[in-house]
Structure 1
C-alpha cells in the first residue's frame, strides 16, 4: 500500500515500513531542516514542507495523497503539550494537532491508520461540538461507524527495542476491508543495554575545560577506536564538575546519592532537581526513554552505564553517543544521517522519534491477518 506520513519528523518511525510492503509516498513536516533530513533518507517520497494547520498546505497534502492512491496513514503529532517531560499543559495548542490527522482520515478514508503519541494522549481532552472530550472518544465519535479502532499504551521494550518507552498507539482498520488490526504479542525477552551497546568501545568524555583534560590520557586512543566502529561513536563534551561526579557514580545510580562527589552549588549544597537526574543507566535493563534532552548529564538518567575501573572510579562519565542512541532506538547501524546535520539536530530528532522496530512489528500484524 501507498502511505502518508503526517508530522513526519525525519522519518524514523517509517524506517522499516518498506519491509512490510508499506511505501510512504507523501510526507508532511513543519520544520525545513527536518524536511530536508527526511528527503535525504527518502528521496523518492513527496515531502511537503509547511504548516498542516494552513489551508494551502493541508489541501496540498490531501490532493497529493489522492493522486498517489494513499491507503495507509501514519500520524505522530507533536506531544509536548501532553508529555510528562514537558509542561503537561492541557490547553497547549499542539494537543489539538490530532484533529488535522482526523481531518485527513475523513477526507482520504484510508484502509489503515496508525497514530502514535505519548501515553497521556489517551487522557487528553480536545474540543468537539462545544464540549471537551478525550482524544480516544473523539476518534470513536468521528469514525466508530466506519473503522475498527484499537487503543493501547505499549512499552517498546516488549517489541524488540532496547528502550523503555511508553507510547499510546491507536490502530484503525476500515471495516469494509475485513481486517481487524490488533496489537502483536509481547516479547518474552527484553533486550538489555549490555546486549545493545555492550560491545562498543568505551569512550572518555571530552572535558570543556582544558586544564582537566589530562585526567583522561587515553582519550585520543579511545576516540580512534570508537570512530573505527562508526563516525557517530564519539563523546559529547561536558563541563568538568559534571564529569567528576559521574566518575564516582556507580552503574544504575545517581550522583545525588554520593556522599562526597555529588552535584553542588557554589555554596557546596546539592543542586536542585529530580532524583533520577545525574544518573547512570543499568546494563541489565533496557535503556530509559531517550528524550530530546539526551545531550546533558543533568537530565533524566542520561548517563552511560559505565564500568568499574581499578582505581575505584567508573568509565564513560558522559551521555550516550549518537551511535549508541541509534542502537537503542532500533535504527540500523548504517542509518544514513546527512553529513550537513548538526549533532544538536540529530540528537533532538532521535529523542523525538518513534522506535521503528516497534512500528514494524505492529504493521506486520496486517500482513499476518490478511
Structure 2
C-alpha cells in the first residue's frame, strides 16, 4: 500500500481568487507547493492521498493551465478517472479530542478501494479532559510533568482573577487589562478570555502561551473570595491533552516551551489524523 500525506503551506493565497492576477501568486514560491504534489501523484502508483490544511484552503484559487481554479476542480480534472475523491472540513472536537480544530481534509483513493470518514463521537468538554488537574497560580510549577505555566504581569493576573469562566477581561469595568503605565489595553473581545468548562478548548494556535492572544486563558474556578483561580494559559500538559499528544513525548534537549507550543499550533492533532486514516478503529487503512 502506498500513501501520500501532503500538508503544503497556504501563505499569500487569496480566497477572493478570481480578481487576482497571476503575478500575485509569483511573489511567494510556497504558494505553488500544493501544485508540486501533482508530480508525486503522477510518478508514484499511490493508493491513497491525503491533503490537509486550513478550512479556507478549499476556497482558494490556484494558477493552473492559465486559469485560476479551485483545488477541487483541478484535482477532479486531472485525476478524476483514476481516483475517487472527497473534500470536507472536519473538526477535531467531533472525533474524541477536546479541542475545536477544523481542518480541510482532501482525500483521494483508487477506484477499486474505499475510504470513509470516521463516525462522529460525543464531544469531550474541558471539565472532563483537564478538570482533574490541580490549579496553578501565576508562574507556578507543579510536581506533575509538563504542568507549569509562565509568569505574567501581576496587573494582568489580577484582571484575570476577576474574570469569570467563559468571559474576557476586556469586558470588565474595573479590573481590566492595563499597560504598565496604567492605560487600558485595547483589543478584541476574545483576547484575555477564559475558556468554558462545558466545551472543548478553542483551537490551540502558535500563540497558545499568551493570555493576550485569542481564547487562551484557563476556565478557572470560582473561589470563596469571589475571584477565579488559574489566571493563566493552559499548561503544556493541558495543551498536550487537548491536542491528543502523549505526555510521555520526548523533545530534544533545550527545546523551548515557545517552540513546542508553536509546532502544536501548526499541527493537526495526531488522534484526528489516526481517525481519518483508520475510521473504523482497526488496522486497515481507509476502513
* TM-score (ref. length: structure 2): 0.89
Question: How many correspondences in the alignment?
Answer: 275
Relative distance call for 1:302 and 1:236 in structure 2 (3 A) is same
RMSD: 2.3
**Residue 67 of structure 2: aligned partner:** 131
1:162 aligns with 2:98: yes
Distance 1:368 1:110 in 2: 13
The alpha-carbon deviation at position 273 of structure 1 amounts to 2.0
Pairing 1:138-177 to 2, within 5 Å after superposition: 138-175=74-111
- Give the aligned partner of residue 205 of structure 1: 138
Rounded to whole Å, the distance in 2 between the matches of 1:98 and 1:240 is 46
Structure 1 residues 272, 369: closer, same or farther in 2, change over 3 A? closer
Is the 1:255–1:279 Cα contact (8 Å) retained in structure 2? yes
Q: Deviations over 1:98-126 (max 9, x none)?
A: 11222222222311011111000100111
8 A Cα contact 1:249 1:280, kept in partner? yes
Counterpart for residue 77 of structure 1: 8
In structure 2, the residue matched to 1:194 is: 127
Q: How does 1:318-357 map to 2 (within 5 A)?
A: 318-357=232-271
Counterpart pick for 2:35 among 96, 99, 121: 99
CA distance in 1, matches of 2:91, 2:268: 12
C-alpha distance in structure 2 between counterparts of 1:96 and 1:193, whole Å: 39
SS in 1 for 2:259: helix
**Scaled by the length of structure 1, what TM-score is found?**
0.69
Q: 1:369 to 1:246 in 2, by over 3 A?
A: closer
- Alpha-carbon deviation of 1:368? 7.4
In 2, the alpha carbon distance for the partners of 1:161 and 1:170 equals 20
The equivalent of 1:185 in structure 2 is: 119
Correspondence 1:1-370 to 2 at 5 A? 1=1, 71-81=2-12, 91=25, 93=28, 94-175=30-111, 178-187=112-121, 189-206=122-139, 219=140, 223=141, 226-227=142-143, 229-230=144-145, 232-265=146-179, 270-365=184-279, 367=284
> What secondary structure does 1:365 align onto?
coil
Contact 2:138–2:232 (CA<8 Å) still a contact in 1? yes
Which runs of 5 or more residues in structure 2 are unaligned?
none
1:267 to partner: Cα distance = 7.4
SS at match of 2:106: strand
- Taking the aligned partners of 2:251 and 2:132, their CA distance within structure 1 comes to 22
Displacement, 1:369?
A: 6.2
Q: Secondary structure at the match of 1:238?
A: coil
Provide the rounded CA distance (Å) in 2 between the counterparts of 1:311 and 1:259. Answer: 18
Cα distance in 2 between the residues matched to 1:112 and 1:267: 57
| Structure with the higher fraction of residues in helix conformation | 1
CA distance in 1, matches of 2:230, 2:13: 33
**Alpha-carbon separation, structure 2, partners of 1:113 and 1:369:** 11
Larger displacement relative to structure 2 (280-289 or 194-203) = 194-203
